Amino acid sequence: MDSKEIEKLRKDFPILKRLVNGKPLVYLDNAATTQKPRQVIDAVSAYYASSNSNVHRGVHALSEEATEAYESARKAVADFIGAESAEEIIFVRNATEAINLFYYAYALHKFGRGDRLVKTILEHHSNFVPWQQLAWSRGVEEKIVNVKQDFTLDYDEFEKYAAGGRTKLITVSHISNSLGTVNDVRRIREIAEKNDSLFLLDACQSVPHLPVDVGRIGCDFMAFSGHKMLAPMGIGVAWCRGELLERFEPFMFGGDMILKVGLKESEWNTLPYKFEAGTPNVEGAVGLHAAINYLKKIGLEKIHPHGLQLANQCVSELESPGIKTYSPPNGLRSGIVSFTVPGVHPHDIATLLDREGIAVRSGHLCTQPLMKALGVPAVTRASFYIYNTKEEVGKLADALKSAKKVFV
């Protein structure tokens, strides 16, 4: 993406015009959530202004319009990720709920003592804690793949842990939210296939940045959130192979997931409604549809290279005796750069950056086991997206130099 293209699309984001502490906003917390373009804001507003109604439950015009908008969004998501059918798309609140759906609707019923699951030290708590709980409650053996000194996964360890015929699940993030490591999902798929294991993919940091096709990747289940890809908060996606999804038990009861209710027994609805109990987030689905259209118009193939370019610049400008970066080698990283200033708590760094209008994330980034493995309590993270510029990376580097002087 060239500078003219970036400047043009920045005009679509109203929040980028505001000041923070009297300084122009430099928003570098995109791995947590992205800002929203006018096209998404307008789509949600138009839905509320003209078509707001409950879906699937009325024959009046507004209900039919809302239903059409909701189901059109489902079809758009299916097309966006290469799903075979829109019936494989389940709308949830976020990726956390999507992973918990797999946990409660399938894993709790199908896995038990003697089975094994393999996860990695890179995982967000949302893809770490559920399997910890499965080990505790069902006696499933957990194996945790570590990272090497270059912050990439130890695939030899992956192979060793998955072997033996007892591994029922391999779960991994496509891109680490803390280190920006791009994991070799095709190699992981091969490991899963070799060991007849299910493969669950946390795609929160990949779907917004690069083309993700579930068929080509070969995973069995995938989770991602709308708010990390320009869409509103409160809308996420659980995708699952239809054949596997048919074997899931209901996740929640009530509303659209019910087909028929008697005094002593009930019958569940067909896919995907079997897993969408209660009134759904229709406006969130509308906003997600608009976000997908926006990203397709830009060209998804442009987004990852842009973020990578900024990350490479950031690593180059930050690496110095006074700053330590935690970033994998070029070619295996994404638009995420985590760093520490020795002797200074990341929260203090983030506070000083905020005074300059620069928004970054600090803390353990919902990856406490990874922080322990790295030997730090927390890091500061800069994460880039389509509207970020080389100039903003320069501002971050200059602000960090000034911040370091405060603690000298």
Tokens at residue 113, please?
Answer: 């003592």
Tell me which residue has tokens 């096709």: 213
By C-alpha distance, which of 385, 331, 382, 329 is closest to 359? 382
In our burial notation (b when 16+ CB lie closer than 10 A, e otherwise), range 26-60 reads: bbbbbbebbbbbeebbebbeebeeebebbbbeeee
Catalytic annotation on 366? yes
Listed in sequence order, the DSSP H helices in 225-299 are: 242-245, 282-298
Tokens at residue 169, please?
Answer: 């699940």
Which of 204, 219, 240, 366 is catalytic? The answer is 366
By C-alpha distance, which of 32, 20, 6 is closest to 360? 32
Side by side, which strands form the sheet with 236-240? 89-92, 236-240, 221-225, 198-202, 167-173, 116-120, 141-145
Cβ contact 292:76 at 8 Å: yes
State the Cα torsion 338-344-348-349 to the nearest 10°: -40
Which residue numbers are catalytic? 366
